[in-house]
Amino acid sequence: MLIKIILFVNFSRLYPSVPNNSRLCGTDNYRLENIVLHKDYLIGIPVTAVHYNAEYYPEPMRFHPDRFMPKNKHLLVPYTYIPFGLGARTW
């Protein structure tokens, strides 16, 4: 059963059901490095770009199920796997 879940998770990384997401900024004058965000700014989250970023997933175009195995979970960066959007059930 675990291998089926791991295969599904890796497939969902390569082909997310929600390729783009957006959120409203809830804080005024929020500083993100050199960018200032104001309350109610719409912020786009390019899910596919995050999932294909080599900084988070070495060889991002490769179907590599081992990257999601429990023994490798410590290598995953939080909020870089978001195929269904962001929320309480995000892995």
Q: Which residues sit opposite 22 in a β-bridge?
A: 44
Distance between alpha carbon 74 and the CA centroid of its chain, in Å? 15
Query: What is the SS3 assignment for 91?
Result: coil
Type of residue found at 46: P
Mean pLDDT computed over every residue of the chain: 90
Closest CA to 20 of 42, 50, 46, 43: 46
Least confident of 13-27, 51-65, 75-89: 75-89
pTM: 0.81
